[in-house]
């Protein structure tokens, strides 16, 4: 039996617990695409279920597509959401390749598909990723041991999608309907990989904010935190310098007798901080997630936040008098992230919640999704070197398995992707917003005539997938228009081929 570690702390917590204090105090939380979202102020997904225009279905899915043990044949029920209000027989099917959480949450935050469905007369299907939400092969025991959770990975998930889509089309007697897959973040990685591995199932993929190059040594390990820092620096050099300077002030509390008590008071901690590191992680998360969702409109994806929240944070920092400490300024900025709605009297800093059921990502990160990250001295965070051995050791302790750090690039490629996909494959849009630190692991340049990159300087984490609003800036309207046009061209070509 394994002990599940609260999501927000995820891999960070184990570093804190087990590594030497000097290392631990400099280790960054690991922010996975879409996972480890602190979401204490979000409504539970039960509420979402009632408010999204989808019917819930369950598909009998096979446990292991790639072995033939008696156990491989175990059937579990995979959840998917379906909206057929715009669809007519033979028209396209748009499938969202679910990522690491309850599928309702992704459906609620991918309004783009509902926005464009009428134009395409598309059937919408959101498929939940195995081992998330209610799609648990062994119910509440699904994470009890490596024997149970060992079937959780991206290749099994892709095979699930292929099997489910094929069956669905057959049941609808609409086998000629073209399928386009959509996904954001890890879901975007899955969408892109799905098009590459199952071109006979999907005619194209829109992969939004999909860091498929965040593996091995393809991009510099410092990219992610450098990008976060750049977001703040480009808004205000002072803001960047204040945050960068706050860590030393924070660390100083460690050596004071009453340091932790004082810090707890300063940080409005509800129950008292368990450690100085907890405060650091809490700040760190606020800056990272705010950079990720630096949206041009008010939004409530991870937390309720105003438009351009990085700018708002820096406004707070810049407006405080020079006499205030850097740490108190950083705290004030982070409070925007955790308490924009002004409903919190105190903060539960010691742990986050897991309203969307994201904790399975920890397992994926400890097996296949090994994304090396470190902090450079130019970043606004404390410098930190990636230590694979320590990471692997912790994964072994936590789950009894060792990571396979080179597997994703072996299975899906990534190295020299532009040279490979220039000569192979077609019909993939990689959309990225450069405000999103994950963009640095994305495909940012056109690769071929039909494997293209749509990059917006002001965009953030899969902003294109959000419902259109009247306040959307022109670049966002334009980005979505391009996506629709390209998808339309795939579909036109498909029907043209079909007739010929």
Q: Is the dihedral of CA 191, 197, 198, 202 positive or negative?
A: positive
Name the segment binding a copy of itself (CB under 8 A); options: 133-141, 157-165, 256-264, 339-347: 157-165
Active site residue 185: yes
In this structure, are residues 301 and 184 in contact, taking their beta carbons and an 8 Å threshold? no
Does 448 contact a copy of itself by CB under 8 A? no
| Binding to a copy of itself, residues 363-382 (CB under 8 A) | 363, 367-368
Does 150 contact a copy of itself by CB under 8 A? yes
Q: Helices in 353-469 by DSSP H: which ranges? A: 360-367, 388-399, 407-412, 417-422
The pair of three-digit structure tokens given for residue 380, joined into one six-digit string:
């606004």
- Size of interface with a copy of itself, in residues (CB under 8 A): 60
How many whole angstroms separate alpha carbon 255 and alpha carbon 260? 9
Active site residue 275: no
CA atoms within 13 A on the CB side of 279: 32
Binder of a copy of itself out of 422, 458, 482, 488 (CB under 8 A): 422
Binder of a copy of itself out of 50, 55, 200, 345 (CB under 8 A): 200
In this structure, are residues 76 and 165 in contact, taking their beta carbons and an 8 Å threshold? no
Map residues 3-42 to x or -, x wherever contact with a copy of itself holds by CB under 8 A.
----------------------------------------
DSSP code of residue 185: T
Please list, in sequence order, all residues whose beta carbon lies within 8 angstroms of the beta carbon of residue 380, skipping any fewer than 6 positions away: 225, 228, 229, 232, 233, 240, 243, 244, 287
Does 396 contact a copy of itself by CB under 8 A? no
Active site residue 436: yes
Q: Is the dihedral of CA 79, 212, 426, 196 positive or negative?
A: negative
How many whole angstroms separate alpha carbon 460 and alpha carbon 481? 17
Binder of a copy of itself out of 278, 417, 454, 486 (CB under 8 A): 417
Please list, in sequence order, all residues whose beta carbon lies within 8 angstroms of the beta carbon of residue 22, skipping any fewer than 6 positions away: none
Least distance in angstroms from the C-beta of 157 to a copy of itself: 11
Does 73 contact a copy of itself by CB under 8 A? yes
Name the helix (H) or strand (E) containing 77: strand 75-83
In this structure, are residues 96 and 112 in contact, taking their beta carbons and an 8 Å threshold? no
| Shorter beta-carbon distance to a copy of itself: residue 206 or 375 | 206
Least distance in angstroms from the C-beta of 93 to a copy of itself: 16
Binder of a copy of itself out of 44, 64, 311, 325 (CB under 8 A): 64
- Among the options 10, 25, 135, 185, which is catalytic? 185
Least distance in angstroms from the C-beta of 407 to a copy of itself: 7
| Shorter beta-carbon distance to a copy of itself: residue 25 or 409 | 409
| Shorter beta-carbon distance to a copy of itself: residue 165 or 302 | 165
Compute the 3-state secondary structure of the chain and give helix, strand, coil in percent, each to the nearest 5. 45, 10, 45
In this structure, are residues 437 and 287 in contact, taking their beta carbons and an 8 Å threshold? no
Binder of a copy of itself out of 50, 69, 345, 470 (CB under 8 A): 69
Does 497 contact a copy of itself by CB under 8 A? yes
| Shorter beta-carbon distance to a copy of itself: residue 120 or 131 | 131
Name the helix (H) or strand (E) containing 283: helix 276-292
Please list, in sequence order, all residues whose beta carbon lies within 8 angstroms of the beta carbon of residue 280, skipping any fewer than 6 positions away: 25, 247, 250
Does 90 contact a copy of itself by CB under 8 A? no
Name the segment binding a copy of itself (CB under 8 A); options: 3-11, 81-89, 361-369, 481-489: 361-369
Least distance in angstroms from the C-beta of 80 to a copy of itself: 17
**Burial (CB count within 10 angstroms: exposed 0-12, middle 13-18, buried 19+), residue 259:** middle
In this structure, are residues 31 and 382 in contact, taking their beta carbons and an 8 Å threshold? no
Least distance in angstroms from the C-beta of 181 to a copy of itself: 14
| Shorter beta-carbon distance to a copy of itself: residue 62 or 261 | 62
Q: Is the dihedral of CA 343, 353, 292, 128 positive or negative?
A: negative
Binder of a copy of itself out of 48, 122, 159, 288 (CB under 8 A): 159
| Shorter beta-carbon distance to a copy of itself: residue 17 or 498 | 498
Least distance in angstroms from the C-beta of 408 to a copy of itself: 11
Binder of a copy of itself out of 402, 469, 489, 492 (CB under 8 A): 402
The pair of three-digit structure tokens given for residue 257, joined into one six-digit string:
């007798």
Residues taking part in catalysis = 185, 436, 461
- List contacts with a copy of itself (CB under 8 A): 62, 64-70, 72-73, 146-147, 149-153, 155-156, 159, 162-163, 166, 196-201, 203, 363, 367-368, 400-402, 404, 406-407, 409-417, 419-427, 493, 497-498
């Amino acid at each position: 039996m394994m002990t599940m570690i609260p999501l927000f702390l995820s891999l960070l917590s184990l570093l804190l617990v087990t590594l030497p204090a000097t290392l631990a105090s400099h280790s960054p939380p690991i922010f996975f695409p879409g996972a480890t979202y602190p979401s204490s102020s979000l409504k539970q997904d039960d509420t979402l279920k009632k408010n999204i225009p989808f019917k819930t279905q369950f598909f009998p899915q096979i446990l292991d597509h790639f072995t033939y043990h008696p156990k491989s044949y175990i059937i579990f029920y995979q959840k998917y959401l379906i909206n057929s209000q715009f669809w007519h027989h033979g028209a396209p099917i748009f499938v969202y390749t679910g990522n690491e959480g309850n599928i309702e949450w992704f459906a609620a935050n991918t309004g783009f598909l509902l926005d464009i469905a009428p134009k395409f007369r598309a059937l919408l299907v959101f498929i939940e990723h195995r081992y998330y939400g209610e799609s648990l092969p062994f119910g509440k025991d699904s994470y009890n041991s490596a024997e149970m959770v060992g079937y959780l990975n991206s290749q099994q998930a892709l095979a699930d999608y292929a099997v489910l889509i094929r069956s669905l089309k057959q049941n609808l007697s609409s086998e000629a309907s073209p399928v386009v897959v959509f996904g954001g973040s890890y879901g975007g990685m899955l969408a892109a990989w799905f098009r590459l591995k199952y071109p006979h199932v999907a005619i194209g993929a829109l992969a939004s904010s999909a860091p498929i190059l965040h593996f091995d040594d393809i991009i510099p390990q410092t990219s992610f935190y450098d990008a976060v820092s750049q977001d703040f620096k480009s808004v205000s050099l002072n803001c960047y310098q204040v945050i960068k300077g706050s860590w030393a002030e924070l660390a100083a509390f460690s050596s004071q007798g009453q340091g932790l008590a004082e810090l707890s008071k300063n940080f409005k901690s509800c129950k008292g901080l368990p450690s100085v590191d907890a405060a650091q992680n809490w700040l760190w998360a606020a800056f990272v997630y705010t950079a990720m969702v630096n949206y041009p409109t008010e939004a409530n994806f991870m937390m309720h936040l105003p438009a351009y929240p990085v700018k708002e944070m820096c406004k707070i920092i810049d407006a405080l008098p020079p006499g205030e400490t850097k740490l108190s300024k950083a705290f004030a900025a982070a409070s925007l992230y955790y308490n924009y709605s002004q409903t919190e009297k105190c903060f539960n800093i010691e742990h986050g919640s897991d309203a969307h059921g994201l904790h399975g990502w920890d397992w994926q990160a400890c097996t296949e999704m090994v994304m090396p990250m470190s902090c450079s001295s130019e970043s606004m965070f404390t410098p930190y070197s990636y230590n694979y051995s320590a990471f692997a050791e912790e994964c072994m302790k936590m789950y009894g398995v060792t990571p396979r750090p080179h597997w994703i690039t072996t299975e899906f490629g990534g190295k020299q992707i532009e040279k490979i996909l220039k000569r192979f494959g077609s019909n993939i849009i990689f959309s990225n917003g450069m405000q999103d630190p994950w963009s640095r692991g994305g495909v940012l340049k056109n690769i071929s005539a039909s494997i293209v990159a749509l990059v917006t300087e002001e965009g953030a984490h899969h902003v294109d997938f959000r419902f259109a609003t009247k306040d959307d800036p022109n670049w966002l309207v334009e980005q979505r228009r391009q996506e629709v046009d390209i998808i339309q061209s795939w579909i036109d070509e498909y029907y043209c081929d079909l007739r010929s």
